[in-house]
Each structure stands twice: as C-alpha cells, then as structure tokens.
Amino acid sequence: MPKQPGAAARTPVTDRSSIRPGNLGLILRRLRDDGPRSRTALAADTGLPKATISSLVTELADLGLVREGDPQRGEGAVGRPRLAVELDGRGVCGIGVEINADYVAAIALDLRGRTVFERRAAADVPALGAAGTLDVVGRLTAEAITQTRSAGIRPLGMTIAAPGGADPATGSITTAVNLGWRDVPVVAPLRERFGADVPLPPIAIRNDAHVATVAEYVAVAGAGVRDLLYVTGEMGVGGGVYNGGQPYHGARGRACEFGHMPINPEPVACPCGRVGCWETMVGLGAFLDHATDSGDIVRDPLTDRERRLAELHRRAESGDERTLGALREIAAGLGRGVALLVDAFDPELVVLGGYFTQFADYLLEPVQRAIDERILNPSTGRCEVRPSTHRYTSTVRGGAQFALEPVFQDPVGTIGRSPAL
C-alpha cells in the first residue's frame, strides 16, 4: 500500500538503492508540509549537505516540481536574503473521485494543492446501483482528464474514494452498507468504460474517510500538528487518525470505523446489521429524522446536499425549535463519542467534517465542553476541536492528494511512468 502524506520519515534515506529518489521525495515533503524553504534551511531540516540539497533541487526544478520563490532572511541573519525554494508542479495533477450516497464528485489538484478541475453531480446512488453510479463516475472522470490534458496538465494518478471497505488489490468496494453494495468491482469496470485506446493514469481505490484525513492532515501539518483525529458526518460516520505524522489504518486497512461503536443507549437498527451504533445517534440520517418529516424537501437526494442543509441551518437561525432540538441531540451524542475517541487516541487536534462542519456554530462548543469534562486526564493539556478546513470536499481532495503520493516517494520514476499527454 502506498504511504500517505506524513508517512515517510523526515530524515535522509540511507538505503543505496533508494537514496536519491527518497531524498528527492523528502525535499518535496518538507516543502509541502512546511512551505517555502531556503536551501540552507532544507539542509538543516534534513541533515543533508548543502551541495547535495542544491543538486536535488536542480533535479526537481528540471522536472517542473519546484521553483525559486521569494527571498527569505532567517531570524537574526545578516547578509543578503536567501532565495526560497517552493513547490511548483503546475504541469501535473492528481484526480480524486468521491462516491457518496447522494452525489458523485471529482477534483484535480496540482502538486501545490491548487484546484485545476472540480465537478459535483447530485445522484441517488443507492437507486442508481453500481452500474449507473459508475456511468456518472466515468463521465466526471472523462471530463477531468480531458480538461486537464487540454490545459497541458498531466494526471499522474486517480483515487476512487469509497464509502466503506475498499480492497486496493482487487479494485473493489467490499462493503458499503449505506449504499447496499458488497464486493462491487470498481476499477476494472471504470477502465472498460474508456477502452484500451484511452491512456489512463494509475487508479486506486481507498476508504473515503481515510483519504479525507489526508487532506485534513496536510492542511494543518505546516502548523506542526502531528497527532490528529478526524471525524466526519455523512449518512454514516467515519474518520481517520494520524499518529506522530503517520496514518493509522490497522492491520487490514479497516481501522477507524468510528460510526459503528455501540454507544447509542437506544437499540436503533444500523444498516450494518447491528443495533446502537454511534451513527444511529449522530449520522446525517439521524439528524434528518430528528429535524424533518419524511416529505420534507431537505430529504430529496437529487437536490444538492449543501443547499438542503443550508435550509436547515436557516431554520435553526430563525429559531425553529424542532431544528434546534435536533442539533442539541446531535451535539450531545457527538460529544459523547468524540470524548471516547480522544481518550483512545490522545490527539492534539480533533477535526469535525461533513455536515458537522456546516453546523459548527451549534456543535463545536458543546463537543469541546464534553471533551474537557469527560476525558480521563484533562491536566495533561487541552485537545482542541476545529471544523474541517475543506468542509464537504475533504474526501475528494484527499483522494487527489493520495493520487499524487507516488511523486513524494519517487519523483523521477513517477513522472517517467505516467501516460503522456
């Protein structure tokens, strides 16, 4: 399994067979996580000789992956400011595709994280079934590839973010309980839709919450955060963990299925087949059940989710007691579960994503209070709760960033292996 952002050591590579690729990738990671750096600062950061740094930077610049930035003067330094080195990568991109219960989204990001393509299509995915959904995925993917290549940008990889279990070896979604899918091939049927004559970049499939955590980690890594807990509210509830700058996925890649912790005191049936799962308390379905009746327009899966939830937020702001009561229920259940996770993983930061972000003004304070009151060792330091940096795009952005990960492991080899424009 390819390593995700933050997974590589932040020290020079010493294995002779991978010394240069590894150290090229090390420089790219430092520039991504910490921003523009002078060659002198990169040498100090990595422990590599300055002459080696200069050689590596020149090679990365020749690949179009870095460029000279603005002059920098270190604190207390004298003499001329040093030119900074910064990520470039305008000529390459990664594509992320998200399959959700009520939409399919695609985005392409260049190496600096700039958006070069973005589309989202409302879709009733459970009703469409796998074949119909992959037709939508194929259309968005074709549009992404066509638009980026016509702009002279080369897609280096694509990640399909699956709402549930994913098997990278077979390119299949193993379980997606909220879609009613089990053992559904995705990668091979998607390639078949393009045909043998259309060059496609490598395609991977990963759990949606895991890749969303990539995007959230990259967003805060520059501030020195290395221990992060991400919890997202969709139709289900999922998340991910970074521990010491490295992602935690478990022995079989199925870790962090937070939504199925059995903490609901009410025996509410969950789509997974069990009762009392956390997502039956705080998932989007639970919120809609508390806040609306079955015929309410905000339940229409063919209407954009943000627009539907914006209407519920408007109702809360106008003082609608049913909506406000639903938010109090969600806040109580969310605080209870997040406090347990904080005790389990001891993060320095908790990020709330998905619809939790859209209602952050109603949820953050009670969740923070629950953590402060419930955790076992509050004297060791406060764990802060923040809303997602990317709101509903964390998963699709994380997919695109995961697709670019091979560049940070072996820049020369990845550029050489990718299909030509």
The full set of domain ranges for the chain reads 16-87, 92-210+396-417, 224-390
Instruction: In whole angstroms, give the CA distance from residue 365 to residue 111.
Output: 35
Q: Percentage of the chain with pLDDT > 70?
A: 91
Range list of H helices, 9-111: 19-34, 39-46, 50-62
Q: What is the pLDDT of residue 125?
A: 94
293, pLDDT greater than 50: yes
Instruction: In whole angstroms, give the CA distance from residue 281 to residue 328.
Output: 11
pLDDT band at 18 (very low <50, low <70, confident <90, very high): low
> Domain spanning 92-210+396-417 has what CATH number?
3.30.420.40
Instruction: In whole angstroms, give the CA distance from residue 321 to residue 298.
Output: 17
371, pLDDT greater than 60: yes
- Is residue 411 a contact partner of residue 65, using CB atoms and an 8 Å limit? yes
Q: What is the pLDDT of residue 6?
A: 43
341, pLDDT greater than 90: yes
pLDDT band at 54 (very low <50, low <70, confident <90, very high): very high
Task: Give the residue-averaged pLDDT of 170-190.
Answer: 92
- For residue range 238-292, list pLDDT tens digits in order: 999 999 988 998 887 788 989 999 999 999 999 888 999 999 999 999 999 999 9
Q: What is the pLDDT of residue 196?
A: 73
46 or 159: which carries more pLDDT confidence? 159
294, pLDDT greater than 50: yes
Mean pLDDT of the chain: 89
398, pLDDT greater than 90: yes
Q: What is the pLDDT of residue 9?
A: 43
pLDDT band at 304 (very low <50, low <70, confident <90, very high): confident
Range list of H helices, 164-207: 187-194
- Is residue 39 a contact partner of residue 33, using CB atoms and an 8 Å limit? no
Task: Give the residue-averaged pLDDT of 145-169.
Answer: 93
Instruction: In whole angstroms, give the CA distance from residue 244 to residue 141.
Output: 34
How many CA atoms lie within 13 Å of 73's alpha carbon, on the beta-carbon side? 6
- Is residue 85 a contact partner of residue 66, using CB atoms and an 8 Å limit? yes
CATH 3.30.420.40 assigned to 224-390:
yes
CA distances to 35, 290, 291, 407 from 325, rounded to whole Å, are 43, 8, 8, 48
- Is residue 399 a contact partner of residue 211, using CB atoms and an 8 Å limit? yes
390, pLDDT greater than 70: yes
- Is residue 373 a contact partner of residue 383, using CB atoms and an 8 Å limit? no
Q: What is the pLDDT of residue 132?
A: 96
378, pLDDT greater than 70: no
State the fold for domain 16-87. Arc Repressor Mutant, subunit A (1.10.10)
CA distances to 103, 128, 190, 291, 326 from 301, rounded to whole Å, are 8, 12, 24, 16, 20
Q: Do domains 16-87 and 92-210+396-417 have the same CATH topology?
A: no
Q: For the whole model, what pTM was predicted?
A: 0.86
The tokens of 303 are what? 């209407």
